[in-house]
Amino acid sequence: MPPSTRSLRERVGALRNVPPFLALVWQTSPALTVANLGLRVVRALLPVVTLYVGKLIIDEVIRLARLSSTPDGPWAWYQAGLLDTLIGLLALELGLAVVSDILGRAVALVDSLLSERFTNVISVRLMEHAATLDLEDFEDSELQDRLERARRQASGRLPLLGQLFGQAQDIITIVSFAVGLVAYAPGLIGLLLVALVPAFLGELHFNARTYSLDYGRTPERRELDYVRQTGASVETAKEVKIFGLNAFLIERYKTLADGFYRANRALARRRALWGALLTTIGTMGYYLAYGLISWRTVRGDFTIGDLTFLAGSFRRLRTLLESLLSGFSQVAGQALYLDDLFSFFDVQAEIVSAPNARPFPTTIHTGLVFEDVGFIYPGAERWAVRHLSFALKAGEVLALVGENGAGKTTLVKLLARLYDPDEGRILLDGHDLKDYDLDDLRRNIGVIFQDFVRYHLTAADNIAVGRIDARDDRARIVLAARRSLADEVIEQLPQKYDQVIGKRFRTGVELSGGEWQKVAIARAYMRDAQLLILDEPTSALDARSEFEVFQRFKELSAGKTAVLISHRFSTVRMADRILVLGGGQIEAAGTHDELMAQQGRYAELFELQAAGYR
Q: Give mean pLDDT, residues 330-350.
A: 75
Are 371 and 488 in a shared domain? yes
Give the model's pLDDT for residue 46. Answer: 87
First to last CA, the chain: 62
Q: Give mean pLDDT, residues 138-142.
A: 73
**Neighbour tally for 610: CB within 10 Å:** 11
Note whether residue 246 is domain-resident: yes
Are 152 and 112 in a shared domain? yes
Give the model's pLDDT for residue 492. Answer: 92
Compute the distance between CA of residue 530 and CA of residue 439 in angstroms, rounded to an integer: 14
Per-residue pLDDT band for 159 (boundaries 50, 70, 90) equals low
State CA 510 to chain mean position distance. 29
Q: What is the domain extent for residue 18? A: 10-346
Per-residue pLDDT band for 5 (boundaries 50, 70, 90) equals very low
Q: Write down the number of H helices and E strands in the chain.
A: 23, 10
Note whether residue 295 is domain-resident: yes
Most confident of 75-79, 435-439, 511-515: 435-439
Between 211 and 515, whose confidence is greater?
Answer: 515
Are 83 and 177 in a shared domain? yes
CATH number at residue 96: 1.20.1560.10
Is residue 231 within 8 A of residue 253, CB to CB? The reply is yes
Per-residue pLDDT band for 224 (boundaries 50, 70, 90) equals confident
Are 485 and 536 in a shared domain? yes
Q: Give mean pLDDT, residues 127-138.
A: 79
Are 244 and 281 in a shared domain? yes
pTM of the model: 0.63
CATH number at residue 424: 3.40.50.300
Between 318 and 370, whose confidence is greater?
Answer: 370
Paired with 531 in beta bridges are 445, 561
pLDDT at 144 over 70: yes
pLDDT at 11 over 70: no
To 5 degrees, how large is the angle CA 531–CA 532–CA 535?
A: 135
Note whether residue 399 is domain-resident: yes
Percent of the chain with pLDDT over 90: 12
Are 387 and 320 in a shared domain? no
Is residue 490 within 8 A of residue 516, CB to CB? The reply is no
Give the model's pLDDT for residue 196. Answer: 61
Give the chain's mean pLDDT.
79
Stretch among 28-32, 263-267, 322-326, 373-377 having the lowest mean pLDDT: 322-326
Compute the distance between CA of residue 471 and CA of residue 463 in angstroms, rounded to an integer: 9
Give the total number of structural domains in the chain. 2
Compute the distance between CA of residue 71 and CA of residue 83 in angstroms, rounded to an integer: 12
Are 187 and 284 in a shared domain? yes
Give the model's pLDDT for residue 1. Answer: 43
pLDDT at 455 over 80: yes
Are 85 and 162 in a shared domain? yes
pLDDT at 585 over 70: yes
Going from the C-alpha of 502 to that of each of 241, 422, 453, 486, 536, the distances in angstroms are 19, 39, 11, 15, 21
Are 277 and 375 in a shared domain? no
Is residue 333 within 8 A of residue 210, CB to CB? The reply is yes
Give the model's pLDDT for residue 208. Answer: 64
Note whether residue 159 is domain-resident: yes
- Beginning with the edge strand found earlier in the chain, give each strand of the sheet holding 585-590 in spatial order: 445-448, 531-535, 561-565, 397-401, 577-582, 585-590
Per-residue pLDDT band for 421 (boundaries 50, 70, 90) equals very high
Between 245 and 569, whose confidence is greater?
Answer: 569
Between 514 and 241, whose confidence is greater?
Answer: 514
Q: Give mean pLDDT, residues 389-403.
A: 88
Most confident of 18-32, 363-377, 524-538: 363-377
Are 587 and 452 in a shared domain? yes
pLDDT at 77 over 90: no
Note whether residue 360 is domain-resident: no
**Neighbour tally for 595: CB within 10 Å:** 26
Compute the distance between CA of residue 439 and CA of residue 424 in angstroms, rounded to an integer: 22
Between 336 and 55, whose confidence is greater?
Answer: 55
Tens of pLDDT, residues 289-333: 667 777 777 777 777 877 777 777 777 777 777 677 666 666 766
Domain stops at, among 346, 378, 397: 346
Most confident of 163-167, 182-186, 388-392: 388-392
Domain stops at, among 286, 313, 346: 346
Paired with 393 in beta bridges are 367
Note whether residue 324 is domain-resident: yes
**Neighbour tally for 594: CB within 10 Å:** 13
Backbone angles phi, psi at 37, to 5 degrees: -65, -45
Domain stops at, among 346, 381, 402: 346
Give the model's pLDDT for residue 4. Answer: 43
Note whether residue 302 is domain-resident: yes
Give the model's pLDDT for residue 199. Answer: 63
Percent of the chain with pLDDT over 70: 80
Is residue 151 within 8 A of residue 311, CB to CB? The reply is no
Tens of pLDDT, residues 161-171: 777 788 788 88
Q: Give mean pLDDT, residues 1-11.
A: 49
Note whether residue 594 is domain-resident: yes
Give the model's pLDDT for residue 203. Answer: 65
Give the model's pLDDT for residue 2. Answer: 44
Are 390 and 298 in a shared domain? no
Compute the distance between CA of residue 342 and CA of residue 337 in angstroms, rounded to an integer: 9
Are 423 and 539 in a shared domain? yes
